[in-house]
Amino acid sequence: GAVVSQHPSRVICKSGTSVKIECRSLDFQATTMFWYRQFPKKSLMLMATSNEGSKATYEQGVEKDKFLINHASLTLSTLTVTSAHPEDSSFYICSASSGRPGPGNTIYFGEGSWLTVV
């Protein structure tokens, strides 16, 4: 089946620095990838939709200058948390879908990345 992989799985960074998380679709081309954030014991919150070759679409309330998304190829999207602060500490999950966009598309998730800002 389709596989989506994230790297790193865990990262610790100092406050004020930037950190990059990669999301790869391993056996299919994903024109669209999604980035979610999950707070402890909470559901997933969609942050942005990453489109290959164009600017990402951010959800309301998500700072686009803080969470930079680049979808450089059909198999890779990156999320960069800039000038990280402790409140950015969270579990970040990416997902991707294959096939034509549609509400019934199966969406595959990465393993997630734990970010801790100290």
Partner 1 sequence: AQSVTQPDIHITVSEGASLELRCNYSYGATPYLFWYVQSPGQGLQLLLKYFSGDTLVQGIKGFEAEFKRSQSSFNLRKPSVHWSDAAEYFCAVGRMNSGYSTLTFGKGTMLLVSP
Residue 93 binds partner 1 (CB under 8 A): yes
Q: Coil, strand or helix: which one is 88?
A: helix
Task: Tell me which DSSP letter residue 93 carries.
Answer: E
Member of 51, 70, 89, 116 binding partner 1 (CB under 8 A): 51
Residue 29 binds partner 1 (CB under 8 A): no
Kindly state the tokens that stand for 13: 């960074």
CB 23 within 8 A of CB 113: no
Residue 70 binds partner 1 (CB under 8 A): no
- By CB under 8 A, the count of residues binding partner 1 is 28
Q: Which stretch binds partner 1 (CB under 8 A): 12-20, 61-69, 72-80, 105-113?
A: 105-113
Closest CB to partner 1 among residues 86, 102: 102
CB 61 within 8 A of CB 46: no
- Count other Cβ atoms within 10 Å, centred on residue 27: 11
Residue 35 binds partner 1 (CB under 8 A): no
Residue 63 binds partner 1 (CB under 8 A): no
Residue 6 binds partner 1 (CB under 8 A): yes
> What separation in angstroms does the CA of 11 have from each of 28, 56, 89, 116?
27, 23, 10, 6
